[in-house]
C-alpha cells in the first residue's frame, strides 16, 4: 500500500482549535503533552540515529536535523508569545520565515543535542508558567498578523501542543526508513 504524501506531511492530521474556553482537565492534557515532548523527541532522535537525521522525513521536506532545530526555534517563539500575551494588552506577535531559519548555517553546524537540551530547559520554564495561569489569563489574546487572526492562550496551547506532536511524528517516520 502506497503512503499518501499528505500523511507524511501531516502524520497526526491538522490541528482543530477550540472555539470555547478549555476545561481544566483539557488544559492538563495539553500541558502534559508539552511537558513530555523534550524527552519524546530525544528518544525519537536516538531511535532514528545520526545518519537518518540527515535525511528528509518526506520528499521535499526538511531533514530530521532541521526539524529538531526548528522545534527549538519555534517553541522559543511560542513561549515568548505566551509571555507577551500575559504582560501586554492584545499584542501583535512577530512572524518569521521558518524555511529561512532552517537554512541558516547554525542548523547544519550545531549538534541536535544542543536544541534538545534547549527544549528540555525551555519546556521546564514554559510548563511551570502554564500550570500557574488562572482561568482569566487563559483567555488573554494575541494577534497573528500573517494569519490575520486573534488567538486566546487556550487556542495557542492546543496549537503549540499539536506542533510538537506533529514534528515528533516526523522524527518517528525517520526510524521507519532504510
pLDDT tens per residue, range 86-96: 999 999 999 99
Q: Is the entire prediction scored with pTM above 0.85?
A: yes
Residue 144, φ and ψ in degrees, nearest 5: -105, 105
Residue 50 placed within a domain:
yes
Q: Is 4 helix (H, G, I), strand (E, B) or coil?
A: coil
Range of the domain at 167: 23-175
Residue 66 placed within a domain:
yes
By percentage, how much of the chain surpasses pLDDT 70?
96
The pLDDT score that the predictor gives to residue 1 is: 36
The pLDDT score that the predictor gives to residue 6 is: 59
The pLDDT score that the predictor gives to residue 3 is: 46
Examine the pLDDT at 163 and tell me if it is beyond 60: yes
pLDDT (average), residues 47-54 = 94
Examine the pLDDT at 61 and tell me if it is beyond 50: yes
CATH of the domain at 91: 1.20.120.450
The pLDDT score that the predictor gives to residue 5 is: 53
- Tell me the C-alpha distance between 142 and 147, whole Å: 12
- Tell me the C-alpha distance between 25 and 161, whole Å: 15
- Tell me the C-alpha distance between 120 and 105, whole Å: 23
Residue 14 placed within a domain:
no
> 59 exposed, middle or buried (CB, 10 Å; 0-12, 13-18, 19+)?
exposed
What 3 state SS string does 111-125 have? Answer: CHHHHHHHHHHHHHH
pLDDT (average), residues 11-21 = 96
Residue 10 placed within a domain:
no
DSSP-derived letter for residue 106 is H
Examine the pLDDT at 178 and tell me if it is beyond 80: no
pLDDT (average), residues 13-26 = 97
Residue 69 placed within a domain:
yes
pLDDT tens per residue, range 124-141: 999 999 999 999 999 999
Residue 5 placed within a domain:
no
Residue 96 placed within a domain:
yes
Residue pair 141/17 in contact by the 8 Å Cβ criterion: no
> What is the chain's percent helix, strand, coil content, to nearest 5?
65, 5, 30
Question: How many domains would you assign to the chain?
Answer: 1
**Residue 50: pLDDT band by 50, 70, 90 thresholds?**
confident
Q: Count the Cβ atoms, other than its own, within 10 Å of residue 107.
A: 19
Average per-residue pLDDT in the chain? 95
Cα angle value 102/69/104 (rounded, 5°): 30
- Tell me the C-alpha distance between 164 and 85, whole Å: 21
Residue 8 placed within a domain:
no
Please give the helix or strand (H or E) that residue 174 lies within, else none: helix 153-175
Amino acid at each position: 500500500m502506497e503512503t499518501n504524501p499528505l500523511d507524511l506531511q501531516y502524520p497526526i492530521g491538522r490541528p482543530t482549535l477550540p472555539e470555547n474556553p478549555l476545561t481544566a482537565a483539557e488544559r492538563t492534557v495539553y500541558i502534559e503533552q508539552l511537558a513530555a515532548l523534550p524527552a519524546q523527541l530525544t528518544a525519537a532522535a536516538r531511535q532514528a540515529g545520526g545518519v537518518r537525521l540527515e535525511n528528509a522525513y518526506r520528499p521535499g521536506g526538511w531533514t530530521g536535523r532541521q526539524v529538531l532545530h526548528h522545534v527549538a526555534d519555534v517553541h522559543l517563539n511560542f513561549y515568548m508569545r505566551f509571555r507577551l500575551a500575559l504582560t501586554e494588552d492584545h499584542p501583535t506577535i512577530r512572524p518569521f520565515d521558518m524555511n529561512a531559519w532552517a537554512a541558516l548555517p547554525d542548523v547544519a553546524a550545531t549538534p541536535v543535542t544542543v536544541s534538545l537540551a534547549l527544549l528540555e530547559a525551555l519546556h521546564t520554564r514554559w510548563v511551570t508558567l502554564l500550570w500557574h495561569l488562572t482561568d482569566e489569563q487563559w483567555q488573554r489574546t494575541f494577534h497573528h498578523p500573517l494569519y490575520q487572526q486573534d488567538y486566546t492562550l487556550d487556542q495557542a496551547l492546543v496549537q503549540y501542543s499539536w506542533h510538537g506532536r506533529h514534528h515528533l511524528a516526523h522524527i518517528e517516520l525517520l526510524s521507519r526508513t532504510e
